[in-house]
Chain A
């Protein structure tokens, strides 16, 4: 398991000498993952921007577009960067805390879509996003088992 070193809050190993370092690690992990959500959301906006530039796309021309359409390329670079940072955060963080935070990306993407693409938000969409974030959080609580 990835987070064997994480342990649980009530673990007897949490002696006074160990706890401060862990607390710092945890905060660092959370900060990293929040940064990941920002990168992920920015990536989505770039990917959508790039996708809209495809003219009569085929599977192959879309694949080539990853390298020839700058926003698409940049979007996937951000995605790769986000993935690497997330793996780093997982190294000493607890999956059950970090994983649900990633679903914040849904919230940022919804907001940014209104800003950049004039998407319309309504109560059903917002409720849907809140329910999905809740669902991912519920799943994440089990992710370390």
Chain B
């Protein structure tokens, strides 16, 4: 059974939302001091969780049809988004090694897509 394109798009969208959620979690975690009780009062963490829930809903809709062996590897695209957010919002350096990793992951996703038949 071939995996429908819509399923792949849903999983890719889920990875996108999830990486935004992770960005908010990181931004929120940076402000974490003073103990666990502040965890629930942290606005950025709350936004991060909302994005994660949204991402999970899209992911579940995505894996409903098609092959998990095609759809799950697509989640690795979230590493790419994470690199982009890290560069834009956290001013992390973009190194040659990161570029190499990024290209390999994209190539891998391409191969998994080619294997979808």
Are the C-beta atoms of B64 and A51 separated by less than 8 Å?
A: yes
Number of A-B residue pairs, CB cutoff 8 Å, is: 138
Please pick, from B72, B73, B104, the residue contacting A138 in the complex, using a CB distance under 8 A.
Answer: B104
Q: Mark A33-76, 1 if CB is under 8 A from B, else 0.
A: 00000000000110110111010010100110110000010001
Do A121 and B69 have beta carbons less than 8 Å apart? yes
Within 8 Å of chain A (Cβ to Cβ): is B110? yes
Binding site for A on B (CB under 8 A): 53, 56-57, 59-61, 63-64, 67-70, 72-73, 76, 79, 83, 93, 95, 97-98, 100-117
Say yes or no: A136 contacts B109, CB within 8 Å.
Answer: no
* B-chain residues with CB within 8 Å of residue A129 when the two chains form the complex: 73, 108, 112
| Contact, CB under 8 Å: B63 / A125 | no
Return chain B residues, CB-CB under 8 Å to A137.
101
> In the complex where A66-B56, A113-B67, A117-B68 touch, is A132 in contact with B73 (Cβ < 8 A)?
yes
A18: CB under 8 A from chain B?
Answer: no
A109 interfacial by beta-carbon distance below 8 Å: yes
Q: Report if A17 contacts B (CB, 8 A).
A: no
Residues of the B chain whose Cβ atoms lie less than 8 Å from the Cβ of A66: 56, 60
